[in-house]
Structure 1
Amino acid sequence: MTATPAVAPTMDAITAAVTLGHEGQTARARQELLAIWEDLGVLGDPLHRCTLAHYLADLHPEPAEALVWDVRALDAAGALTDDRAGEHHAGLAVAGFYPSLHLNIADNLRRLGAFDAAAEHIGKADERAAALPPGAYGDMIRAGIVGVRAAIEARDTAPRATSPSVGSAG
């Protein structure tokens, strides 16, 4: 991974907080990510804002709270360039962010019962799925798109078993 000296400390702090969340320390992870967000501000580095908001959304089991952070991640992606993403990791392209971002928004809207808006975002996720890399990550997002689309069509508002926020209330 290639990172500029100014980039590494913030991304390292985000990664450390995300790791806490994966270890079940969701309240502490949220607290640490929120502190980083305060330091970044709404006009901070779009890569950091997108990454942080994307992971912070996963730490909120309530779909309305998660939706706020997912929208912030999508907004930050709109300000992000491939050059900036490539400073963090060679070959990283912003286009590959969008399927997951739209998938997460669709899932939150579905859980809130906003099925038409959810269908719009799942359609955008599907349209952009060609930008996903081959392999496990791309396969996971493509399967998520299929699963959320089915839940939207069934008018199902229950959390999906594979949702990152399932069981993260702590």
Structure 2
Amino acid sequence: MTEPDVTMARIGRGVELGQRGEREAARELFSELWEEIGVTGDPLHRCALAHSMADVQDEVKEELLWDLRALEAADLVTDERARQAGVVGPVSGFYPSLHLNLGDAYRRLGDLDRARDHLERGRATVGVLGDDGYGQMIRQGLERLAERLSAGQAGRS
């Protein structure tokens, strides 16, 4: 049995704050954690934290910045490290969500070419996800993004 990953648990608390609508409190907790982890800290922690921090941003440009940090860190995470932290499944399962979020952020910023690139990258990696609720949610998100892009929709909608 592995020891609980305290940092991942703290990130989880921040996610809960964000889901309850306490976005500012979540940002504060995530900022504290980012200072502790640092830009060269554990890639798994950086990936999870940045991906979660993106979700509580009010500005799309800030959201994009955090999602790019998450993607960069994901490329450095090994399956063994993820398993040690209690992550179920391979690291490749991170990418569909990361590309979905990046694609949607680029769409909202009006960069439809980059949005389409991340849509295709997300579609190329979605097969690693199961047919559970999470996998279905990501697949549906990718399809919504595809619909918006085919309609040429930039902006918040």
**When the two structures are superposed, what TM-score results if normalisation uses the length of structure 2?**
0.95
Structure 2 counterpart of 1:166: none
Structure 1 counterpart of 2:77: 80
Counterpart residue type for residue 29 of structure 2:
E
Structure 2 counterpart of 1:49, from 39, 46, 50: 46
1:1-150 superposed matches below 5 A: 3-4=2-3, 8-89=5-86, 91-150=88-147
Identity %: 42
Unaligned runs of 5+ in 1: 161-170
Counterpart residue type for residue 97 of structure 2:
S
Q: Aligned equivalents of 1:154 and 1:3: distance in 2? A: 48
CA deviation map 1:57-77 (0-9, x unaligned): 010132111000000000010
Q: Aligned equivalents of 2:11 and 2:2: distance in 1? A: 14
Deviation, 1:91, is: 4.0
Deviation, 1:3, is: 4.1
For 1:79, what is the secondary structure of its paired residue?
coil
1:152 paired to 2:149:
yes
Deviation, 1:10, is: 0.9
For 2:84, what is the secondary structure of its paired residue?
helix
Unaligned runs of 5+ in 2: none
Over 3 Å counting, the alpha-carbon distance change for 1:115 and 1:80 in structure 2 is same
Q: Aligned equivalents of 1:149 and 1:89: distance in 2? A: 32
Q: Aligned equivalents of 1:102 and 1:3: distance in 2? A: 30
The count of corresponding residues between Structure 1 and Structure 2 is 157
